[in-house]
Structure 1
Amino acid sequence: MKAVWNDTVIAESANTLIVENKHYFPMDDIEKEYFVKSDHNTRCPWKGKASYFHIEVDSEFNRNAAWYYPKTSYAARPIENHVAFCNEVKVTE
């Protein structure tokens, strides 16, 4: 699977996990130079507290376009430290 934004592959993995119709990419499979830590957080009732990244490619900025769970609940443990995408990031095979 590939995550693409602004015509750039920002993550690629053969080991994504699918939860609630979203592909979660292992943190080691993202192109870290495009990711900027965000102060934004949300909470999922069953997964826990999500942290976010902004994505920056070619001076274009996509706010809070990726999230991950640094410490999940027990039920969501497989996706701990895996990254999922929104905000027009395309995830394709």
Structure 2
Amino acid sequence: MVEGNHYFPLSALNREHIISSSHQSTCPWKSLAHYYTLHVNGKASENAAWYYPKPKAGSEAVKDRVAFWKGVQITS
């Protein structure tokens, strides 16, 4: 968990439910975040998941991991 968010391995994502988004944001200590839009049961959740492809030194815990906005239900 980082800053109250659970980060899951990118490899665990079901790729049929995600589309890369053009949205990005910057965290001063983690670096540039990239986003995914989730598509489940005919509904889209814009920019509902994010990841840091090249985290800065000191934030390696988020490398190759993805987090979701609160309210996104995670199932296996």
Q: Is the TM value for this pair above 0.5?
A: yes
In structure 1, the gaps of 5 or more residues are: 1-17
CA–CA distance in structure 2, aligned partners of residues 36 and 22 of structure 1: 21
Tell me the residue number matched to 1:46.
29
The percent identity for this pair of structures is: 39
Name the one with the larger strand percent: 1
Aligned to 2:11: 28
TM-score with structure 1 setting the length: 0.75
- Residues 91, 59 of structure 1: CA spacing in aligned structure 2 closer, same or farther, 3 A cutoff? closer
* Distance in 2 (alpha carbons) for counterparts of 1:87 and 1:38: 18
1:87, CA displacement in angstroms? 5.4
Count matched residues. Answer: 75
Q: TM-score, normalised by structure 2?
A: 0.90
RMSD, matched Cα: 1.5
Distance 2:53 2:31 in 1: 9
